[in-house]
Amino acid sequence: MSVPILEVVDLHAAYGRIEVLRGVDLAVPRGAVMALLGPNGAGKSTLVKVISGQKEATSGDIHLAGVHVRKARSDELARVGLCTIPEGRSVFPNLTVEENLRLMSYAGVPAPAILDTAYSYFPRLHERRDQLAGTMSGGEQQMLAMSRALASDPALLLLDELSMGLAPLIVDELYETVARIAESGVSILCIEQFARTALRVSDYAAVMSGGRIVATGEPGEILDTMADVILGGAA
Amino acid sequence: MALLEVDEVVVRFGGVTAVNEAAFTADRGSITGLIGPNGAGKTTCFNVITGLQKPTKGRIRYRDRDVTGWPVHKRARHGVGRTFQRLEAFGSLTVRDNVRVAQEIHGGPLAWFGRSRGGVDMLLDRVGILDYADERADSIPTGTARLLELARCLASDPQLLLLDEPSSGLDETETDAFGELLVELAGEGCAVLMVEHDMDLVMSVCNDIHVLDFGRIIASGTPAEIRADADVQRAYLGYSESDESAHDTSVMEVVTP
Amino acid sequence: MSSLFAYTLLGLFTGAAYAIMASGLVLTYTTTRVFNIAHGAFGMLLSFVFWDFTQRQGVPTWLALILVLGVVAPAIGWFIQRFVTRGLGEGPVSVALVVTLGMLVALIGLAQQLWPPEPRALLPFYAGTSWNVGGTYVTAHQLITLLCAIAVAFGLYLLLSRTRIGTAMRASVDNPELLKLFGGKPDRVAALSWMIGISLAALGGILLAPVVLLDYYALTLLVINAYAAAMIGKLKSLPMTFAGAMILGILESYAVAYLPKDGILNSVRAVIPALFLFVIVVAMPQAQLRIGQVKGIVTAPLPTMRRSLGSGAGLLVVAFVLINAVAPNQVLLIGVAATYAIVMLSLVLLTGYGGHVSLAQFTFAGIGALTYAKLDEPNLFGLAVAALVAAGAGALVALPVLRLTGLYLALSTMAFAVLMDKVIFNADFAFKFNGTLAAQRLSILGMRIGSDTSYVWFMVLAFVVLALGLLLLRRGALGRLLIAMRDSPSACGTLGLDMRWFRVGLFALSAGIAGLAGGLFAGLRGTVGAADFLYFQSLLVLLLAVVFGATSVTGALLGGTALMLLPEFQASAPEMAGLLFVVIGVGAVLLGRDPNGLANYLFKLGRWTGGKVAPGLEGRLQGLLPRGGGAEPAATGDVVLEADVESTMVIEKVG
């Protein structure tokens, strides 16, 4: 079996004295889409922060395509092909749409190519290219953010709560983009609160709780496993 | 008349509408639940009610007064208390001193010189964390820290209690005890407004529930009504599936076994 | 043509130079969140370099310009970003202020050391060339200044909107973390903005030097002009900054033209920028209460009460012995040291405990001294009034910035200090220009403390009493509140604390302590004048307080002694005068991130050698604690354990 694109081994991280990641083990196979599910406060976002180099781990290892990267900085990782779309609107609100897109060229793909891809996939962005990103709707901002994943040709994409605060139709549209990016061969680790939405596009799923991965498997399997884990049930 | 009235509040961040004409009330002696997916605008609502965030439109009425323009501390002095989703305990103070500071703030400079350790410990005992009294607040578990925030808030004698995901980090027994405490507080005349993901807790203690989805109230009613509401199920599920089952709904509310 | 036109034109030319300087300040501040209070000082130093190149080395003007603006200034900017200010923007404002203030003093010292005081003149470009424009003469230098400003504006516009790195600079204002996720290089962005920023400071300095004279202090103070202009653009907008600079230039020009040439209004001209600043600060909108903790603030150490009392008594004994042992003329020096130490105590409260920076602390002492001397009530009542008046002045300075953040407060205090120094203290109702006032030593219960020795010992006693009072506050509710506000301002707000008024109160209390020191100082000296309370003294007080430890009473004592010794050293070795400033400045730069200062090292030494003194007490205390781990603050007898842990953490984070 080939080397996984992302491998996390016994990863620990803490805020102050409170440990948030307590020994996370996770592997994302090359070319696969993995959904990371779990309740609020399970440590999912922290895991993304640590993998992307935004937060230091206290111990453990992270390998990207077999290379040890735990001490790497987030900008270095971004330039070697790790694309992270963090929680919330990950655009620069006081730059225009086009300026936002041009900055994406830091990851390696030249600006004209990025503009081409983004505008042809999201014609809406072309209409608004001279508008300040912060004045666009939440959905449009998220399209702009997704353009980076779409156009910068990453090896691994980390998505954190893409759907946060967005209307259903827009979430669907964004996940179509995710599916398309996956088709082009990009590996994806995707945190999503709407389990079904995420599982629809995933090959694998992992469930996180209390700072650990408590289950991994194929989407169908996970839904069954989860049922055992779930206490009670709402609605 | 309701103790708190949120009237058509709108909050926009640039082009993003975080809260869209939200309107609901909270009454003395009752527990009101505010539920909805992440990013639906629940915490922003709390920030508007406490004054940490200015609404773009709409009013906040509290005790029959328009408090929309009031600063944070003034609302607090009139009995609006809250806890935070992202913990805001005073990390480098002990648990006991956290509550003591709250008392000192509440009592004003005169309280600086009194020694009311008894009162502090009573509050800690009430929320069930007296054992941690001498620990530094940044070294206690998340669930305990949430209870600490509650104790700290109670020290300032609130009439309206806003709790932001108070039970996350608590185990089953602790959550049960916490639910009982909430009912007790409401019984004493407090109005409790709670953002919460643990549906069991919400369904068992709340008198009324409002469901917030991308900034709008999409449903309001008693727990039974909410349980039956199709819109709510969809809001919690992601949207495109039609064959949802109860189990899937709760994937994001996994409680640690 | 009317003279109004002439003065407007004149104002535009000065404004253009301010605009160049201010745009550099805004650029570095917005991209790195470090407000460079030494901005004017860099302009000053580089003007001296330019003078040296052209006048002493005989380098042609155009080449010297290229060398200074294109090589020396960018190199300094790169160096400063790389080794001094990197990562400062993420920490508390007070640290960044202290570090850049350290640079300011170090640069003044460096300039004095390299170019000892002597009359020098930087000539205007193409001196003697001028044209008649609408009845008024425009010199070539003025025209060049205006053209430079236009070129700078245009160049910055191109850079920021047309290049990728320029866009990245604007992006890093929005969200530096996200820029990293884009793959951008924040360090490169920061380095470029510092290189350009320092270069613009140099250009502004060189253009203004013929007007404001090639002087260490005058050019350094241009930071206030730049800051005032930048405030119009809320420290963000470059176009508004340019507009602000022009308005300021014109206002100054009108002041020259239309203000009366005598009386207090005459001296107002010199402080137009400071006044301008106050007006704008008052008009600024409210700052939002932030959620979350400011990273990297260090907790103040706290000795046990027993140890404090013991040290206080020990100090009194030592002072008694010392006062009786040294030569009579040196007794007064001990009194001076006590004055400084008390002023530094006021900074322990404000800066060490409260996290706010004041650049006017010695000015408050001056207000105390002035009140004491004017009142002519040489007793405790007079002293109390002196303290109260100073406290009132402190509240007045803090009030306008009530709604704003720490940076504005600190900069307003600097403007205030300059205002007092240049206008109020020299006014006829105060010390008068070049004048002094007589002050009597105080009597307590009818007993006059007349002799040098007893008065000085009384001052030491005052220090000890104030220090113990401060420690008592720190142990009690005030200490807890200060920590709480640092850990979570928003939680304090939602618990009902009005932090704005708390801040005013803290500031007033601190100013009051300084005022008390001033009153005592007036009695010590017998005569006091405006020259005793120059604004620069306030900067030294702050820096030495930080170097020796702004979080501890011991630091204040050591700092006060050092500040007393400073002029003595400088007098005994005048050729080293500048170098001493450099040492202090560099010391502040190095220790700025650790406000526990040198005193902390002394504590460590003390703990290392004297660890056996208190174990009994510690053991008893630990027995009382149910979970008695060693890390509880304030509960154990350990002086600086907690501070140690946190400060190392900060250094790691930043370095």
Mean pLDDT per 10-residue run, chain B (257 residues)? 91 87 93 88 93 93 94 94 91 92 85 69 93 91 92 94 90 91 94 90 93 88 86 59 40 35
Q: Is the pLDDT of residue C630 over 70?
A: no
Task: Judge whether A220 is closer than 8 Å to chain C, CB to CB.
Answer: no
DSSP tag of B136: B
Query: For residue C653, what pLDDT is reported?
Result: 30
Alpha carbon of A63: minimum distance to chain B alpha carbons (Å): 28
- Residue A28's SS3 state is strand
Domains identified in chain C and CATH numbers: 2-261 (1.10.3470), 305-568 (no CATH), 601-653 (no CATH)
Place of tokens 């008694």: C320
Q: Is the pLDDT of residue C370 over 80?
A: yes
Q: What count of other Cβ atoms lies within 10 Å of the Cβ of residue B72?
A: 25
Query: For residue C298, what pLDDT is reported?
Result: 55
Q: Is the pLDDT of residue C642 over 60?
A: no
Report the residue from B199, B240, B248 with minimal CB separation from A195. B248
Query: For residue C290, what pLDDT is reported?
Result: 54
Q: Average the pLDDT over each of A101-110, C177-186, C251-260, C331-340 and give the range with the smallest value.
A: C251-260
Alpha carbon of B113: minimum distance to chain A alpha carbons (Å): 32
- Residue A39's SS3 state is coil
Residues 70-89 of A with CB under 8 A from B: 89
Contact B14 A134 (CB under 8 A): yes
Q: Which residue has the higher pLDDT, C233 or C343?
A: C343
Contact B169 A37 (CB under 8 A): no
Task: Judge whether A84 is closer than 8 Å to chain C, CB to CB.
Answer: yes
Report the residue from A161, A171, A230 with minimal CB separation from B254. A230
Query: For residue C141, what pLDDT is reported?
Result: 92
Alpha carbon of C64: minimum distance to chain B alpha carbons (Å): 48
**C81's tokens:** 């970003």
Q: Which residue has the higher pLDDT, B227 or A141?
A: A141
| Residue pair A162/A192 in contact by the 8 Å Cβ criterion | yes
Q: Is the pLDDT of residue A133 over 90?
A: yes
Write the burial class of residue C406 (CB in 10 Å: 0-12 exposed, 13-18 middle, 19+ buried): buried
Longest dimension (CA), chain C: 88
User: Which residues is A200 bridged to in the sheet?
Assistant: none
What is the C-alpha to C-alpha distance for residues A39 and A99, in angstroms, rounded to an integer?
Answer: 36
- Residue B62's SS3 state is strand
What is the C-alpha to C-alpha distance for residues A43 and A27, in angstroms, rounded to an integer?
Answer: 16
What are the C-alpha distances in Å from C58 to residues C52, C63, C122? 8, 10, 13
Q: Measuring CA to CA, which residue among C205, A22, C490, C256 is closest to residue B72?
A: C490
Task: Judge whether B197 is closer than 8 Å to chain C, CB to CB.
Answer: no
What are the C-alpha distances in Å from C106 to residues C109, C214, C403? 5, 18, 32
Tell me: the pLDDT tens digits for A161-180?
888 878 778 888 899 999 99
Q: Is the pLDDT of residue A16 over 80?
A: no
Tell me: the pLDDT tens digits for A48-99?
999 999 999 999 999 998 889 888 899 999 999 999 999 887 899 999 999 9
Task: Judge whether A129 is closer than 8 Å to chain C, CB to CB.
Answer: no
Strand duo B16-26 + B4-13: pairing:
antiparallel
Q: Is the pLDDT of residue C258 over 60?
A: yes
Find the mean pLDDT for residues C593-621. Answer: 59
Contact B254 A38 (CB under 8 A): yes
Closest residue in B to C286 (Cα) is B71
Q: Which residue has the higher pLDDT, B114 or C24?
A: C24
Q: How high does pLDDT run on average in chain C? A: 84
Domains identified in chain B and CATH numbers: 1-79+159-257 (3.40.50.300), 87-157 (no CATH)
Task: Judge whether A46 is closer than 8 Å to chain B, CB to CB.
Answer: no
What are the C-alpha distances in Å from C115 to residues C45, C70, C118, C514, C575? 10, 22, 8, 35, 11
Strand duo A156-160 + B57-62: pairing:
unpaired
Query: For residue C95, what pLDDT is reported?
Result: 87
- Find chain A residues with C-beta within 8 A of B255's C-beta: 39, 230-231
Task: Judge whether C621 is closer than 8 Å to chain B, CB to CB.
Answer: no
Instruction: Please tell me whether the overall predicted TM-score, pTM, comes out greater than 0.90 for this model.
Output: no
Contact C494 B50 (CB under 8 A): yes
| Residue pair C555/C548 in contact by the 8 Å Cβ criterion | yes
Query: For residue C297, what pLDDT is reported?
Result: 53
**B63's tokens:** 């005790």
Q: Is the pLDDT of residue C313 over 80?
A: yes
Q: At C553, give phi and psi (nearest 5°).
A: -60, -35
Could you tell me the pLDDT band of residue C289, with boundaries at 50, 70 and 90? low
What is the C-alpha to C-alpha distance for residues C175 and C338, in angstroms, rounded to an integer?
Answer: 47
Q: Average the pLDDT over each of A71-80, A115-124, C325-334, C642-651 and give the range with the smallest value.
A: C642-651
Tell me: the pLDDT tens digits for C390-422?
999 999 888 877 777 778 888 888 889 988 998
Q: Average the pLDDT over each of C214-218, C524-528, C543-547, C594-598 and give the range with the smallest value.
A: C594-598
Q: Average the pLDDT over each of A33-47, C258-272, C480-494, C631-645 and give the range with the smallest value.
A: C631-645
Query: For residue A219, what pLDDT is reported?
Result: 86
DSSP tag of A133: G
Alpha carbon of A91: minimum distance to chain C alpha carbons (Å): 8
Closest residue in C to B52 (Cα) is C289
Tell me: the pLDDT tens digits for C155-187?
999 999 899 999 999 998 888 889 999 999 888
**Which of B88, B95, B254, B255 is most worth mutating to test chain A (most A CB atoms within 10 A of its CB)?**
B254
Query: For residue C625, what pLDDT is reported?
Result: 35
- Find chain C residues with C-beta within 8 A of B104's C-beta: 477, 480-481
Query: For residue B234, what pLDDT is reported?
Result: 67
User: Which residues is A64 bridged to in the sheet?
Assistant: A6, A67
In the sheet that holds B4-13, the strands lie side by side as B16-26, B4-13, B57-62, B65-66
Our CA angle for A112, A115, A117, nearest 5°, is: 110
Contact C181 A79 (CB under 8 A): no
Query: For residue C619, what pLDDT is reported?
Result: 38
- Find chain B residues with C-beta within 8 A of C483's C-beta: 90, 92-93
What is the C-alpha to C-alpha distance for residues C117 and C443, in angstroms, rounded to an integer?
Answer: 44
Contact A106 C171 (CB under 8 A): no
Our CA angle for C646, C648, C650, nearest 5°, is: 70
DSSP structure string for C179-217: HHHTT--HHHHHHHHHHHHHHHHHHHHHHHHHHH-S-HH
- Find chain C residues with C-beta within 8 A of A103's C-beta: 164, 167-168, 171, 179, 182, 184
Query: For residue C19, what pLDDT is reported?
Result: 96
Contact B89 C488 (CB under 8 A): yes
Contact C478 B97 (CB under 8 A): no
Query: For residue C288, what pLDDT is reported?
Result: 56
User: Which residues is C299 bridged to in the sheet?
Assistant: none
Contact A94 C174 (CB under 8 A): yes
Q: Measuring CA to CA, which residue among B209, B166, B234, B240 is closest to residue B26?
A: B209
Query: For residue C636, what pLDDT is reported?
Result: 29
Alpha carbon of C493: minimum distance to chain A alpha carbons (Å): 23
Q: At B188, give phi and psi (nearest 5°).
A: -80, 0
Q: Is the pLDDT of residue A132 over 70?
A: yes
What is the C-alpha to C-alpha distance for residues C16 and C158, in angstroms, rounded to an integer?
Answer: 19
